[in-house]
Structure 1
Amino acid sequence: MITVQNTIHASIDKVWDFWTLPEHIKKWNIAIDDWFTQEVDNDLSEGGKFKYKMSKKDGSLSFDFEGIYTKVENLSLIEYRLDDNRTGKVSFEHNGNTVKITETFEPTKQDSESMQEKWCQTVIDNLKKYVENN
């Protein structure tokens, strides 16, 4: 399992909304500078599906990151299963005006675990910057 985390200086409501609403996800869900999140569909409910279309800025490559939510506890926990059956979870621990967000997930076999950890930490770091600056 890979775990990434960060502490965000904002309310739990704001962090939750920015993590879950498509118009916000498109702004921070970037692991590598020459990629972007082109489309987001997100049915945040148990059994609901999510799909992020990730694309290179030059249009040469894209892929869909998708799965199903297996557990959703409002303002607290999101668990999911990806289409390749890997699982993950995101926890939100709030303390006053800060939120510690922690994501744990099963890595793929195609890429090194250290690279996947770096990519996901970059995404969490981008979320922090986006939330704290908007």
Structure 2
Amino acid sequence: METLNKTAITVESVVNAPVARVWEFWEKPEHITKWANASDDWHAPYADNDLRTGGKFKTTMAAKDGSFSFDFEGVYTDVVVHSLIEYTMADGRKVSVTFKSVGDTTEIVETFEPEEINSLEMQRGGWQAILDNFKRYAEANC
């Protein structure tokens, strides 16, 4: 997929939890299935995650009514524990996620190459909604 000359999209959040716990919630499949959805009518019934450089991940995202699902998957290209996750999605787009410990909070900044089907605003909104769900889940479980 051609992504040259496209502006990367960035979403971010500050999670009121220490970076070690935030990392655990981001890494473990049993947590991923609890937060990896953009709205209440979607869910993530399956997740597999090998969070290391060269490792693969796959999360199935599905409409709860069974009308549609897709696998969000890729390969990690760089992982620095508690600090950085970079990966390439199955369609070739690249993503970078940074984690910065600030006292008892963690700043997360996620930057991704957009795809060509949906508007930039829709993509930004969807990724931000998933990150917001992550924040709610992490804060509720710390």
1:10 matches 2:17: yes
| Structure 1 spans left out of the alignment, 5+ residues | none
Cross-structure match for 2:105: 98
User: Is 2:39 aligned against 1:32?
Assistant: yes
> How many residue pairs get matched?
134
Structure 1 counterpart of 2:32, one-letter code = I
Distance in 1, matches of 2:128 and 2:112, equals 12
Verify: 1:130 aligned to 2:137, yes or no.
yes
Helix, strand or coil at the partner of 1:17: helix
**What is the match of residue 5 of structure 2?**
none
State the superposition RMSD in angstroms: 0.7
In the TM superposition, what is the alpha-carbon distance from 1:34 to its structure 2 partner?
1.3
Give the Å deviation of 1:32. 2.4
Q: Which residue among 53, 61, 65 is the counterpart of 1:58?
A: 65
Q: Runs (4+) of structure 1 moved beyond 3 Å?
A: none
Q: Structure 1: how far apart are the matches of 2:63 and 2:20?
A: 31
- Post-superposition offset of 1:33: 2.2
Q: Could you tell me which of 12, 16, 21 is aligned with 2:28?
A: 21
- In the alignment, structure 2 segments of 5+ residues that lack a partner are 1-7
Q: Residue 77 of structure 1: which of 55, 59, 84 is its match?
A: 84
For 1:48, the equivalent position in structure 2 comes to 55
Per-residue CA shift, 1:74-112, capped at 9, x if unaligned? Answer: 000000001110000100000110100010000110111
SS at match of 1:110: coil
Which amino acid is 1:26 matched to? T
TM-score after normalising by structure 1? 0.98
**Residue 108 of structure 1 aligns to a residue in which SS?**
coil
Question: TM-score when scaled to structure 2?
Answer: 0.92
Match status 1:67 vs 2:74 = yes
Supply the distance in 1 between the matched residues of 2:36 and 2:69 (Cα, whole angstroms).
14
Instruction: Return the alpha-carbon distance in structure 1 between the equivalents of residues 134 and 71 of structure 2.
Output: 20
